[in-house]
Structure 1
Amino acid sequence: MTDRLAALTDQLLSAAKAAGADAADAIAVDGTSVSIEVLKGALEHAERAEGVDLGLRVMIGQRQACVSASDISAATIATMAERAVAMAREAPEDPYIGQAQPGAFATDWDVAALEMADTAAEPSAEAMQAMALEAEAAALSVKGVDQVQGAGTTYSRRAMHLATSVGFAGGYARTGTSVSCVAISGTGAGMERDYDGDSRTFAADLRAPSDIGRTAGERAVERSGARKPPTGAYPVLYDERISGGLIGHMLGAINGAAIVRGSSWLRDALGERILPSWITVEELPHRARISGSRPFDGEGLATQARKIVDQGVLTGWTLDLATARQLGMESTANAARGTSSPPSPSVSNVSMTQGSKSRAELLSEMGTGLLITSMIGTSINPTTGDYSRGASGFWVENGEITYPVNECTVAGNLREMLLALTPANDARTHLSRVVPSLLVEGLTLAGA
Structure 2
Amino acid sequence: MQSRPTSDLNDRAQATTSRGGAGGAGSGFALSQQRFRELVEQALAGARKLGASDASVEVSEGVGLSVSVRKGELENVERNRDKSLSISLYLGQRRGNANTSDFSAEAIEQTVRAAYDIARFTAEDPAAGLPDEEDLAKGDELARDLDLFHPWDIDAEGAAELARRCEDAAMSTDRRITNSEGAGVSAQQSHFFSGNSRGFRGGYAASRHSISVAPIASISGRRGNDMQRDAWYSSMRSAADMASPEAVGRYAAERALARLGSRKIKTCEVPVLFESTLAAGLLGAYVQATSGGSLYRKSSFLLDSLGKQVMPEHIDIVEEPHLPRGKGSAPFDDEGVRTCRRTVVDAGVVQGYFLSSYSARKLGMKTTGNAGGSQNLSLRSRLTRPEDSLEQMLKKLDRGLFVIELMGQGVNYVTGDYSRGAAGFWVENGRITHPVHEITIAGNLRQMLRHIVAIGADEYTTGAKTVGSVLLQPMKVAGFS
Q: TM-score range by the shorter chain?
A: over 0.9
- Would you say the 8 A contact 2:277–2:461 is kept in 1? no
1:430–1:255 distance in 2 versus 1, CA, 3 Å:
closer
Q: Distance in 2 between matches of 1:63 and 1:352?
A: 39
1:225–1:121 distance in 2 versus 1, CA, 3 Å:
closer
Return the match for 2:407 from 376, 389, 392: 376
2:254 aligned with 1:223, yes or no? Answer: no
- Would you say the 8 A contact 1:111–1:172 is kept in 2? no
1:101–1:314 distance in 2 versus 1, CA, 3 Å:
closer
Residue 296 (structure 1) shift: 0.7
* Greater alpha carbon shift after TM alignment, 224-233 vs 296-305: 224-233
Q: Distance in 2 between matches of 1:24 and 1:99?
A: 8
Matched residue SS, 1:86? helix
- Would you say the 8 A contact 1:290–1:430 is kept in 2? no
Residue 430 (structure 1) shift: 8.8
Matched residue SS, 2:288? helix
Return the match for 1:177 from 209, 213, 218: 209
Name the counterpart of 2:350: 314
Q: Distance in 2 between matches of 1:104 and 1:424?
A: 37
Residue identity matched to 2:70: L
2:303 aligned with 1:272, yes or no? Answer: no
1:110–1:322 distance in 2 versus 1, CA, 3 Å:
closer
2:390 aligned with 1:363, yes or no? Answer: no
- Would you say the 8 A contact 1:427–1:435 is kept in 2? yes
Return the match for 1:425 from 448, 451, 457: 457
Q: Distance in 2 between matches of 1:270 and 1:224?
A: 46
Matches within 5 A, 1:22-171: 22-107=53-138, 108-109=140-141, 113-118=145-150, 121-143=152-174, 144-171=176-203
Deviations 1:325-357 (A, max 9, x none): 121211101112xxxxxxxxx111101215222
- Would you say the 8 A contact 1:375–1:392 is kept in 2? yes
How many residues matched? 438
Residue identity matched to 1:66: N
Matches within 5 A, 1:384-423: 384-421=415-452, 422-423=454-455
Q: Distance in 1 between matches of 2:439 and 2:37?
A: 52
Matched residue SS, 1:363? helix
Q: Distance in 1 between matches of 2:105 and 2:322?
A: 36
Q: RMSD in angstroms over aligned alpha carbons?
A: 1.5
Matched residue SS, 1:212? helix
- Would you say the 8 A contact 1:358–1:425 is kept in 2? yes
1:110–1:268 distance in 2 versus 1, CA, 3 Å:
closer
Q: Distance in 1 between matches of 2:76 and 2:368?
A: 42
- Would you say the 8 A contact 1:290–1:431 is kept in 2? no
With normalisation by structure 2, the TM-score equals 0.88
Q: Distance in 1 between matches of 2:178 and 2:100?
A: 46
Residue 189 (structure 1) shift: 5.7
Return the match for 1:16 from 47, 56, 63: 47
Q: Distance in 2 between matches of 1:325 and 1:247?
A: 25
Matched residue SS, 1:191? strand
1:296–1:112 distance in 2 versus 1, CA, 3 Å:
closer
Residue 112 (structure 1) shift: 6.0
Residue identity matched to 2:323: R
Matched residue SS, 2:211? strand
2:382 aligned with 1:351, yes or no? Answer: no
1:129–1:111 distance in 2 versus 1, CA, 3 Å:
farther
Residue 121 (structure 1) shift: 4.7
2:472 aligned with 1:436, yes or no? Answer: no
Matched residue SS, 1:161? strand
Residue identity matched to 2:234: D
1:18–1:321 distance in 2 versus 1, CA, 3 Å:
same
Matched residue SS, 2:205? strand
Q: Distance in 1 between matches of 2:476 and 2:51?
A: 59
Deviations 1:287-339 (A, max 9, x none): 00111100011111110011110111111111111111121211101112xxx
1:431–1:75 distance in 2 versus 1, CA, 3 Å:
closer
Residue identity matched to 1:231: T
Q: Distance in 1 between matches of 2:229 and 2:267?
A: 24
Residue identity matched to 1:84: A
Matched residue SS, 2:198? coil
Deviations 1:37-91 (A, max 9, x none): 0112121100001121111111111111211121111111111111111111111
| Moved segments of 4+, more than 6 Å | none
* Greater alpha carbon shift after TM alignment, 245-254 vs 178-187: 178-187
With normalisation by structure 1, the TM-score equals 0.95
- Would you say the 8 A contact 1:358–1:426 is kept in 2? yes
Deviations 1:335-382 (A, max 9, x none): 12xxxxxxxxx1111012152222212212222211111111122222
- Point out where structure 2 has 5 or more consecutive residues left out of the alignment: 1-31
Name the counterpart of 1:190: 226
Residue identity matched to 2:248: I
- Point out where structure 1 has 5 or more consecutive residues left out of the alignment: 337-345
Q: Distance in 2 between matches of 1:72 and 1:444?
A: 56
Matched residue SS, 1:410? strand
- Percent identical among aligned pairs is 37
Matched residue SS, 1:353? strand
Q: Distance in 2 between matches of 1:259 and 1:58?
A: 26
Name the counterpart of 1:327: 363
Residue identity matched to 2:263: R
Matched residue SS, 2:229? strand
Q: Distance in 2 between matches of 1:322 and 1:432?
A: 23
Q: Distance in 2 between matches of 1:111 and 1:35?
A: 31
Q: Distance in 1 between matches of 2:240 and 2:326?
A: 14
- Would you say the 8 A contact 2:68–2:160 is kept in 1? yes
Q: Distance in 1 between matches of 2:255 and 2:68?
A: 21
Name the counterpart of 2:243: 207
